């Protein structure tokens, strides 16, 4: 059931990439994403930390597909063709910033939502 929430995004990105950009690359990244999502329940069953070994490759594949589509439509070149090893530290920094931002927003929001959703304690009379 976990992959149901991503099914529309996955299908749309794979098909658009296959039609407008590169079908073999879309198929390869789509297959990697499917294998990664298949491993999700197995890895999460061991410990929740291991589920990242499934989630991160999936998100990477979807990100490459999306960035290729956007880059090709705006600049006329593929995102993956523009990358170089010199850009790796900047890309990793952007990734870390994204993750830190998600945690900085997600943890307080999760705590607030937990408090709002918790049943109110009834006063004993």
Please write the tens of the pLDDT for every residue from 66-95.
888 988 888 888 877 777 778 778 777 877
Residues 104 and 44 in one domain: no
Domain assignment of residue 102, given as a range: 84-118
Residues 79 and 90 in one domain: no
Nearest to 13 by CA among 60, 56, 54, 51: 60
pLDDT at 63 over 70: yes
- Summarize the confidence of residues 33-41 as an average pLDDT: 89
Residues 39 and 98 in one domain: no
């Amino acid at each position: 059931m976990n992959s149901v929430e991503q099914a529309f995004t996955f299908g749309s990105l794979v098909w658009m990439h296959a039609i407008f950009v590169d079908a073999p690359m879309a198929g390869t990244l789509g297959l990697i994403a499917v294998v990664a999502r298949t491993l999700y329940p197995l890895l999460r069953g061991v410990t929740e930390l291991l589920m990242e070994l499934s989630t991160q490759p999936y998100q990477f594949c979807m990100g490459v597909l999306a960035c290729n589509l956007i880059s090709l439509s705006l600049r006329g070149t593929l995102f993956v063709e523009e990358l170089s090893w010199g850009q790796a530290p900047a890309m990793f920094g952007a990734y870390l910033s994204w993750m830190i931002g998600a945690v900085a927003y997600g943890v307080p929001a999760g705590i607030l939502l937990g408090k709002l959703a918790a049943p109110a304690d009834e006063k004993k009379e």
